Amino acid sequence: MTSWNQQAAFDDTYDDGPGLFSQLWLGRMTLIAVSIIILVNLIAALCVAGYQIYYDGAIFPGVNVWGVELGGMTPAEAAVTLQGQFTYPQSATITFRDDEDIWRLTAGELGVHFDVERTVQAAYDAGRRPSLIESLREQAVAWRQGVVMSPVVVFDQQIADGYLQRIAAQTNCPPVNATVRVENLQAATTPSQIGRQVDIPGTMEALGQLIARLESGEVEVVVTETPPAIADADEAARTINTILGSDLEIFVENAATGDPGPWIASRESLAEMLVIESANSSYTVRLDETKLQDFLEPLDEKLVRDPVNAHFIFNDETKQLELLASSVQGRTLNIPATVQNINHLIIDEKTRKIPLVFDVVEPDVPETATAAELGITQLVSSATTYFPGSSESRKNNVRTAASRFHGVVVKPGDEFSFVYYLGDVSSETGYDEAWIIFNGRTIKGVGGGVCQVSTTAFQAAFYAGFPITQRVPHGYRVGYYERGEGSGMDATVFAPEVDMRFINDTPYHLLIETYTDTKNNTLTFKFYSTSDGRTVQKDGPYVTNIVAHGPAVYEENPELAPGTVKQVDFAVDGADVKVVRIVYRDGQVISRDTFLSHYLPWQAVYQVAPGHTPAPAAEPATN
């Protein structure tokens, strides 16, 4: 057994002989390969090191700038070589164009120059990186296929900006509006102009792109255009020529008798009033409102028409009103509306006549009013005065003046003015010459007898209990007015200073009726309204301080025939007269009024032929 095992072990040893040999051979081969690799790398490292040492301080092979090979050159040598090779700043032409305007400059004149030092530095830095591997890679690429370095070109934009500023100075212009003016009564215009502003940053950007490509070429000047606010003034010119085309007539439409006008505004005066204003994108043309108002304001007083209330009489049987005269609308000149109307219509060449604009004033008492609506239900007061011995002229004047008040209606709270309703006293309005008191004399004048009417109206208001706000006695006592009521109950009027006024202080309208009886020489005023319960007591007259009149005075009048005597003033004593009115309601005194009259003594005055002085006969005073 042992022998067998030993033999077996020997056999195993014998069998492993070839495997050991293979392992030894593989180890030797690996060692040889590693040695070769190390040797190759060592050689390569020595070559690289030698390459680096050889080109230390020189540009690596394969590096060129703008087609100029710089490999192996020192930076100083490369700089000398490149000098004069890059001619772009001197040779490139940049043309700026603005429509027909052209400016040509070299790139160099615009601030472009070749930076040799920085270009050489960039070429020298090729293959020299902080990373060895990156540096070797760049060196290999340069050696195998070459590296083209772009020249470093410097563009000084401040220089280019200066040139563009000069171009802008020649190109820039502000927008100019079209204008319009008046010359020799005609419109004259000037055209508008579009504003132009060189966009320097925009133009600089286009220039920079051209220089970046190192090319010559044309650069369109970038211009920002600004349209004028008013492109043309043709419409305004047409309006001006229309306004000034002919004279303008201003008139009262549906003019009544007595209305003034028309008024003519000449072309010259229209031109002086012309206003031309800019508004948004055009001109507006009109006449100056202030000047038009200055022209119209003086017309207002002439053109105003007070409304006229309807006139009625009260039917005592039916207790209803009967229309005597229709109401009439009043008017006032609406100056602002007229100004607006003129400016609205004057621009129409077919309109050369423009009406004034009026505001209608409705009457307080229309003709449709009823007795119930107005509160007119009964007779509240009446007064009658007498004028026997009056001339026909005086009777006519009394009748004419009284007719102005027949049917008048006074509103509650309104103040009645005798002068207002009386109106104009002249021969044109129906009055005759008769005796009047004027400037301390009794003389012939148009309207003698009107005071008969004012006196009667005063007495009616006195007994109606209305507050009397103005009453003036005559300068001396007049016989006509002392019949019936006695002295101190007269009222004179002389427009516009001397008036007789009272207030309708009731809540009802007051209707006045007048009746003149020239046969019996009486004048009656009737007041219709609704009684508020008031009653009137008269106390007086109390006559004091009587002053006798002086002797008669004779005046020579060469126009009188010998023996003719003409009395022009009548003797009457002077006196002070007091009348007291007490107004009651329901037994209570609601007012106490004292009316004082101071009458001067008056002597008779006669006119006679020269040298003739007859004894006068006593005659009553008249007015």
- Residue-wise pLDDT for 535-584, tens only, equals 999 999 999 999 998 898 888 888 888 878 877 777 889 999 999 999 99
Enumerate the β-bridge partners of residue 529: 378
User: Structural domain tally of the chain?
Assistant: 2
Is 200 inside a domain boundary? no
Is 124 inside a domain boundary? no
Instruction: Tell me what pLDDT residue 414 has.
Output: 96
For 571-611, the DSSP string reads -B-EEEEEEEEEEEETTEEEEEEEEEEEE--B--EEEE-TT
Nearest alpha-carbon partner for 146 in 80, 72, 71: 71
Q: What is the CA radius of gyration of the chain?
A: 62
Is residue 577 within 8 A of residue 487, CB to CB? The reply is: yes
Q: Based on the fold, state whether residues 303 and 385 are members of the same structural domain.
A: no
Instruction: Tell me what pLDDT residue 67 has.
Output: 78
Q: Based on the fold, state whether residues 502 and 597 are members of the same structural domain.
A: yes
Is residue 115 within 8 A of residue 83, CB to CB? The reply is: no
Is 201 inside a domain boundary? no
Instruction: Tell me what pLDDT residue 279 has.
Output: 82
Q: Quote the distance between the C-alpha of residue 383 and its chain's center.
A: 58
Prior bond to 18 cis, omega within 30? no
Q: Is 168 helix (H, G, I), strand (E, B) or coil?
A: helix
Q: Based on the fold, state whether residues 462 and 592 are members of the same structural domain.
A: yes
Is 158 inside a domain boundary? no
From 294, 327, 361, give the residue that closes a domain: 361
Q: Quote the distance between the C-alpha of residue 572 and its chain's center.
A: 68
CA distances from 322 to 315, 368, 407, 511 (A): 7, 10, 9, 12
Positions of the chain with pLDDT under 70: 1-21, 44-45, 434-447, 613-623
Instruction: Tell me what pLDDT residue 4 has.
Output: 34
Is residue 164 within 8 A of residue 203, CB to CB? The reply is: yes
Q: Based on the fold, state whether residues 345 and 434 are members of the same structural domain.
A: no
Nearest alpha-carbon partner for 101 in 167, 165, 166: 167
Nearest alpha-carbon partner for 346 in 237, 242, 235: 242
Helix-helix angle 2-15:17-54, to 10 degrees = 30
Q: Based on the fold, state whether residues 436 and 335 are members of the same structural domain.
A: no
Q: Based on the fold, state whether residues 452 and 589 are members of the same structural domain.
A: yes
Q: Is the dihedral of CA 584, 588, 591, 595 positive or negative?
A: positive
Is 7 inside a domain boundary? no
Is residue 560 within 8 A of residue 544, CB to CB? The reply is: no
DSSP E strands in 118-198: the ranges are 147-149, 153-155, 179-183, 186-190, 195-198
Prior bond to 336 cis, omega within 30? no
From 361, 393, 418, give the residue that closes a domain: 361
Instruction: Tell me what pLDDT residue 287 has.
Output: 93
What's the domain range around 483? 375-608
Q: Based on the fold, state whether residues 409 and 504 are members of the same structural domain.
A: yes
Instruction: Tell me what pLDDT residue 221 has.
Output: 94
Is 45 inside a domain boundary? no
Instruction: Tell me what pLDDT residue 343 has.
Output: 92
CA angle in degrees (0–180, nearest 5) for 234-235-239 = 115
Is 149 inside a domain boundary? no
Instruction: Tell me what pLDDT residue 129 has.
Output: 84
Instruction: Tell me what pLDDT residue 552 has.
Output: 86
Structure tokens at 3: 């022998």
- What phi-psi label fits residue 319: left (phi over 0), alpha (psi between -120 and 50 degrees) or beta? left
From 361, 384, 412, give the residue that closes a domain: 361
Q: Based on the fold, state whether residues 412 and 318 are members of the same structural domain.
A: no
Instruction: Tell me what pLDDT residue 615 has.
Output: 54
The whole-angstrom separation of Cα 27 and Cα 430 is 164
Q: Based on the fold, state whether residues 339 and 407 are members of the same structural domain.
A: no
CB atoms within 10 A of CB 84: 9
- CATH code: domain of residue 272: 3.10.20.800
Is 617 inside a domain boundary? no
Instruction: Tell me what pLDDT residue 29 has.
Output: 81
- Residue-wise pLDDT for 465-489, tens only, equals 999 999 999 988 888 888 889 999 9
340 burial via Cβ count (<10 Å: 0-12, 13-18, 19+): middle
Q: Based on the fold, state whether residues 459 and 392 are members of the same structural domain.
A: yes
464 burial via Cβ count (<10 Å: 0-12, 13-18, 19+): buried
Q: Is 173 helix (H, G, I), strand (E, B) or coil?
A: strand
Q: Based on the fold, state whether residues 305 and 354 are members of the same structural domain.
A: yes
Q: Based on the fold, state whether residues 585 and 542 are members of the same structural domain.
A: yes
Instruction: Tell me what pLDDT residue 177 has.
Output: 93
The whole-angstrom separation of Cα 376 and Cα 346 is 51
Instruction: Tell me what pLDDT residue 501 has.
Output: 97
Return the C-alpha torsion angle 136, 139, 144, 146, nearest 10: 150
